[in-house]
């Protein structure tokens, strides 16, 4: 090989290496972010997994790790301890509880405009409204007794004598046609139909006036004070993830969910998405104007008064410390909703 040829090859190799280095240097560094959910991977968390799986978070300069919750995992404690940056809290009542206990966390977006809590009843019981549930035995969890059932007593006069313990087992409900069972509109009706072969009557508490936001993004107050840009990017990317999961191609998000939780089937995931859309769980009310994640002062004030009347929260807490509106209501992602879509308000 001649000296000239060797020099040309060396020059080309150096140029190629410099090109790689230049490209790497030009790509901005991603901010590492950790986000903990409150349960195992499922369709009700779909927008977050979609944003991770399809690269939306990376487009917003974020290297996101999602840490699923579960029966033996308390991701909210990890958030408070600084081990996680964001947490998916179940509903606004948990945010109020944080204020009452001086826990320095704050809700920055509400991905569900409606709480998906429902009661399931047998068709034979002829239940058509929430009032029709009052004569039935009600299978309710400890958490439900301390929250929405107090509202049922306050607003509708339900009796504690009709309550039976719910242990995430549908069998007692299936065996008693004069009973009703708590659940999520996105999952338990599907499971009952598969297991028992009938379609249960479903009463969504949100449509009867139970008014908390659900599936909120929560973070520590120090991040809100000192890293507003990071919080904004995570909120915006998550919002876009939810629009894609509901109205676009959610194949990537569902694949990630199934990998993390093999119990999730294509049928159940499709059912969950369909019910979220049918009932306006994610996209209804204020989100139709202000975008997914929307929150308002008026909604928080109304819920606080509702829960004070029910004895769920104390009137002397400053509920306004539970949330901030600075990262939502900006119309992010509205262009991703199909224009001809009929949405339940």
Instruction: Tell me how far apart the alpha carbons of residues 95 and 99 are, in angstroms, rounded to a whole number.
Output: 7
> Angle 266-278/188-196 helices, nearest 10 degrees?
130
Residues of the chain with pLDDT under 70: 1-27, 342-345
pLDDT at 20: 37
pLDDT at 122: 98
Structure tokens at 52: 């991770």
Structure tokens at 2: 């001649």
Using the Cα atoms of residue 180, residue 181, residue 184 and residue 187 in order, give the sign of their dihedral. negative
Q: Is 34 helix (H, G, I), strand (E, B) or coil?
A: strand
CA atoms within 13 A on the CB side of 91: 19
pTM of model > 0.85: yes
Predicted confidence (pLDDT) per residue in 274-321, tens digit: 999 999 999 999 999 999 999 999 999 999 999 999 999 999 999 999
Domains and CATH numbers, the chain: 31-114+212-341 (3.40.190.10), 117-208 (3.40.190.10)
Cβ proximity of 204 and 185 under 8 Å: yes
pLDDT at 271: 98
pLDDT at 14: 43
Cβ proximity of 300 and 319 under 8 Å: yes
pLDDT at 29: 94
Cβ proximity of 117 and 65 under 8 Å: no
Instruction: Tell me how far apart the alpha carbons of residues 84 and 77 are, in angstroms, rounded to a whole number.
Output: 9
Instruction: Tell me how far apart the alpha carbons of residues 143 and 183 are, in angstroms, rounded to a whole number.
Output: 12
């Amino acid at each position: 090989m001649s000296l000239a040829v060797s020099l040309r090859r060396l020059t080309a190799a150096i140029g190629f290496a410099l090109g790689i280095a230049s490209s790497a240097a030009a790509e901005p560094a991603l901010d590492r972010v950790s986000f903990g959910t409150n349960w195992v991977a499922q369709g009700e968390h779909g927008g977050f997994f979609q944003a991770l799986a399809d690269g939306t978070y990376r487009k917003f300069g974020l290297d996101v790790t999602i840490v699923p919750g579960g029966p033996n995992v308390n991701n909210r404690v990890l958030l408070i301890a600084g081990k996680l940056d964001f947490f998916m809290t179940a509903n606004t009542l948990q945010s109020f509880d944080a204020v009452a206990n001086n826990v320095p966390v704050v809700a920055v977006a509400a991905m569900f405009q409606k709480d998906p809590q429902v009661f399931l009843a047998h068709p034979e019981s002829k239940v058509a409204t929430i009032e029709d549930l009052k004569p039935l035995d009600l299978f309710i969890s400890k958490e439900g007794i301390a929250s929405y059932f107090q509202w049922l007593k306050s607003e509708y006069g339900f009796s504690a004598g009709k309550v039976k313990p719910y242990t995430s087992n549908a069998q007692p409900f299936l065996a008693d046609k004069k009973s009703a069972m708590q659940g999520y509109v996105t999952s338990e009706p599907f499971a009952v139909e598969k297991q028992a072969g009938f379609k249960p009557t479903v009463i969504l508490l949100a449509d009867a006036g139970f008014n908390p936001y659900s599936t909120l993004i929560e973070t520590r107050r120090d991040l809100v004070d000192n890293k507003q840009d990071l919080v904004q990017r995570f909120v915006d990317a998550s919002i876009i993830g939810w629009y894609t999961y509901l109205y676009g191609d959610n194949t990537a998000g569902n694949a990630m969910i199934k990998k993390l939780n093999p119990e999730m089937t294509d049928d159940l995931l499709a059912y969950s998405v369909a019910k979220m859309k049918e009932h306006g769980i994610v996209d209804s009310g204020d989100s139709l104007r202000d975008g997914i994640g929307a929150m308002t002062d008026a909604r928080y004030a109304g819920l606080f008064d509702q829960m004070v009347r029910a004895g769920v929260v104390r009137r002397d807490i400053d509920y306004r410390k539970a949330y901030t509106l600075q990262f939502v209501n900006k119309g992010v992602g509205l262009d991703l909703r199909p224009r001809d879509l009929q949405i339940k308000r």
